[in-house]
Amino acid sequence: MTLVSKTFELYGKTYTFESGELAKQATGACLVKQGDTTMLDTVVVSKERKNYDFFPLTVDFNEKMYAAGRIPGGYLKREGRPSEKATLTARMIDRPIRPSFPEGFRNEVHIVATSLVADQVNPFDVINVMGASLAMTLGGVPFEGPLACVRIGRNVETGEFIVNPTYEERENSDLDLELGGSADFISMVEAGAEEISEDDMLAAMKFGQEALAAFCQAQVEFVAEWEQVNGAIVKKEYPLDQPVEEVQERIFAHYDEMAAALRDADKLSRIGKVEALKESIRAEFTDEEQAAWEREIPVALKKLEKKAMRTMVVETGERVDGRAADEIRPIMVKDNYLPLVHGSGLFQRGQTQVLSVLSLGMLNEGQRLDTIEPTEGKRYMHHYNFPPFCTGETGRMGSPKRREIGHGNLAERALLPVLPDENEFPYAIRVVSEVMESNGSSSMASTCGSTLALMDGGVPIKRPVSGIAMGLIQEEGKTVVLSDIQGLEDFLGDMDFKVTGTTEGITALQMDNKATGLTFDILARALQQAKEGRAFILQKMLDVIPEPRHTTRSTAPRIVSIQVPTDKIRDVIGSGGKVIRGIQDETGASVDIQEDGTVFVGGTGESVDQAVERIKLIIKVPEPGEEYTGRVVSIQPFGAFVNLLPGKDGLLHISRVAKGRVEKVEDVLNVGDEVKVVVIEVDDRGKISLDRLDKPEAPARAEGASEGDGEHFQRRERPRRERSERNDRPRRPGDNGGRKPRRHHDAE
């Protein structure tokens, strides 16, 4: 195998494909670069077919901290469980690739994306779909490729679309749209947006489809160069599960019974009827037949259920719960659902129910991110939990699964555009959505419930957000777009299309599409139908809580911000943090100081006001004429130092401690005494001179004290003789006036 490398430019960015040197024992491997960001994508297909009735595809993203020149945090100093970004990237790779495999493929497929270099300029996520697509192509894996994924941004100043924008370009974009698919159709969409219109979103998707085609063509050209060097690629043959005609006929004979069992609006009741019917159909097969067709029978039963549901919709226009195609399930909304918490909201639509709970905290309580991206943290966190009881099942509780992380991220993106700026609302914000029961669209119910919790908690969001999940059925040449799909329509339908937004536009979007016949006309129809559904749902929410509460709850921390000069930050913190710790310990408030001098003070009750007052006193500079009652902290021969403010001492000169002359400061003042003073001067070095108010009379002088005015020392009781008197004293021979004679040394 010979190394082949191809560098090309598309839409103003430089890319490289490379294969033939790394991971040669994998079924296929490819190195893909954007700028200096470098990813290795590998695929391995098991040799044996698995005895499953589903396609066993696994995608892992290997986030290596060395890619960004960092050492992992924690005690072990090595990579641990995947970050949320790694999990979301793995999902991004999985979603366009999974529907590209042929039906009946049962060999295990494992795709691993490994970050080798993250240049902090070009994002590393979307290029992995191209890498995985090339790895599968070079490995002869049968799939409908080539595939690609692109990110589309839009410059807020020029309105121009940007393909695979850099991190810096994304900062100046009002759209973050990721599309995955082939040159002919889109199979995956994920988006966050600053309330853009349906027409603009559709235009961005059309532009993205053109970009997908360009990157797919680049792969075709690379494969052609590869085959010139290494020979033609031979597609491997993998046995597929083929439907057995006899099994199909016997099972589809129960079509009318399945259609009748599906007509039940209650999810658990319907599932019970369908499962009971499936068991009775299985019982018609002998033990030998069930053993021989152990894979074919469950697959055919699933096809029967799918066919009955889809035919019912396209032929009669009726859904399993009796709704019309654009009809929304009954909605129940409650705000202020829980006491004491900072905000809460309960949202129910049909048999999907979500309780969202708000928590507010100091900005330094935001999430710190230890990833290979340049982003260091985030202030808003949305977490989504899907316990087994919400679907009436048993199961093991543990860390969030990929689905929970993905759904939480979607609701987070939906609400980010409407959150207030931290200067307006200086809080870290966490919302947890607990799914209490689920029958489809729980992520959209989480978006609605979280909007309720934010408004109930007094978070001044710009506008409320609602969301809806749309579906699609294409059967027998007919197409039906469904509003507010439930679980069965998601599993057995052709599209799951979630849209969130405000009255002003779309804030987030997610789509998984299995229909190759999805056109932009159908997408436009789905977006318009979703807009109408969102408006209906939003009105139900506004009927209960029309606007955010004007204040946060009494149980929530009160946070205020003040600005201190940057040269005073050291004074507020103190040596080793002594001052700031003292403020927090004595007041009970939390204090967070930013590098620009912004200080956030948070707490409950009077603690915030007390801490703010302490900080203001620290940074205050006394001015001439201001009066203080201070404490004597130090006494020197020339005066006393009086503490006026925290960290601010002034000098009260000995000549100003009392009326008249004072021999010693200690005669009038002691350390710890409180004294009223006025500032008389502050020099250019910040030294403060004081004068005492209400001076007492100076104490009486001791006998023999000097009468000299302004001389603050005591003469000796026995005065020294004048020099002339000493010189007149008669000297004896050798007398040197009392001085020792100098010792003379002869020079050597």
> Taking CA 153 as the corner, what is the angle to CA 151 and CA 158, rounded to the nearest 5 degrees?
155
- Burial readout 359-370 (b: 16 or more C-beta within 10 A, e: otherwise): bbbbbebbeeee
Which among 428, 431, 466 is positioned nearest to 447, based on CA atoms? 466
Residue with tokens 């030998």: 288
Q: How many residues are given for the chain?
A: 748
Q: In Å, how far are 177, 198, 506 from 528, measured between CA atoms?
A: 19, 7, 11
- Burial readout 42-63 (b: 16 or more C-beta within 10 A, e: otherwise): bbbbeeebeeebebebebbbbb
Cα torsion through 653, 654, 655, 658, rounded to 10: 110
Which among 568, 539, 474, 484 is positioned nearest to 513, based on CA atoms? 474
Question: Is position 490 annotated in a ligand binding site?
Answer: yes
What is the distance between the alpha carbons of residues 544 and 346, in angstroms, rounded to a whole number?
A: 11
What HEC string does 13-77 produce?
A: EEEEEEECCCCCCCCEEEEEEECCEEEEEEEEEEEEECCCCCCCEEEEEECCHHHHCCCCCCCCC
Residue with tokens 């590393």: 124
Which among 128, 118, 120, 183 is positioned nearest to 151, based on CA atoms? 128
Q: In Å, how far are 20, 124, 222 from 137, measured between CA atoms?
A: 13, 21, 11
Cβ atoms of residues 448 and 466 within 8 Å: yes
What is the distance between the alpha carbons of residues 388 and 379, in angstroms, rounded to a whole number?
A: 30
**Would you state the structure tokens that stand for residue 348, as one six-digit string?**
């129910």
- Residue 7: partners with Cβ closer than 8 Å, 6 or more residues away: 14, 15, 16
What is the distance between the alpha carbons of residues 445 and 637, in angstroms, rounded to a whole number?
A: 76
> Taking CA 569 as the corner, what is the angle to CA 563 and CA 573, rounded to the nearest 5 degrees?
120
DSSP E strands in 264-402: the ranges are: 331-335, 343-349, 352-361, 367-368, 377-378, 380-385
**Would you state the structure tokens that stand for residue 251, as one six-digit string?**
């099972």
Cβ atoms of residues 426 and 559 within 8 Å: yes
Cα torsion through 234, 239, 240, 246, rounded to 10: 140
What is the distance between the alpha carbons of residues 194 and 507, in angstroms, rounded to a whole number?
A: 6
Handedness of CA 19, 21, 23, 26 (dihedral sign): positive
Amino acid identity at 65: M
DSSP string, 281-297: HHTTS-HHHHHHTTTHH
What is the distance between the alpha carbons of residues 162 and 146, in angstroms, rounded to a whole number?
A: 22
Question: Percentage helix, strand, coil, to 5, in the chain?
Answer: 35, 30, 40
Residue with tokens 């990813």: 39
3-state SS, residue 739: coil
Q: Which residues are annotated as a binding site for Mg(2+)?
A: 490, 496
Q: Which residues are annotated as a binding site?
A: 490, 496
